[in-house]
Amino acid sequence: MPYLETSEDHFAQAASAFLQETTADGTVVLSGPCPRCGHAMEYLITTSVVKGWRARKAPAPTVAQPVEEMCCTCEQDHPGRPVDYLGCGAFWDLPLGS
């Protein structure tokens, strides 16, 4: 399957069934088959923040339901994939919590 940056409605539904594990530092590891290519993948969601100096700005607006922007991270070969990229190009928004 060639690399193609694409998203379809059913990608998020398929990814919602991924196995979810939480590490000691609070990182959430989602694992399962990519909804597009079917290859095994893992996706990390971390709540840690890297602190640094930056100008103050208004806080971000509150989102009714948090969403994680996910993408395929499989390590299988996909023709046309840019150098230093992972995955087949599939991406989706996964609603968190409920």
Q: Three-state DSSP class for 13?
A: helix
6 within a domain of the structure (yes/no):
yes
| 56 in any annotated domain | no
Q: Is residue 57 part of a domain?
A: no
**What per-residue confidence (pLDDT) applies to 78?**
98
Q: Please report whether residue 54 resides in a domain.
A: no
Residue 77 falls inside a structural domain: yes
Range of the domain at 74: 1-47+67-98
What pTM does this model have?
0.76
Q: How far apart are CA 95 and CA 28, in angstroms?
A: 14
Question: Reading across the β-sheet that carries 19-22, which strands appear in turn?
Answer: 19-22, 28-33, 40-45
Q: Is 88 helix (H, G, I), strand (E, B) or coil?
A: coil
Query: Is residue 81 domain-resident?
Result: yes
**Domains in the chain: how many in total?**
1
Residue 88 has pLDDT above 70, yes or no: yes
Mean pLDDT, residues 1-19: 94
Span 31-43, pLDDT tens digits: 999 999 999 999 9
Report the pLDDT averaged over residues 38-49: 85
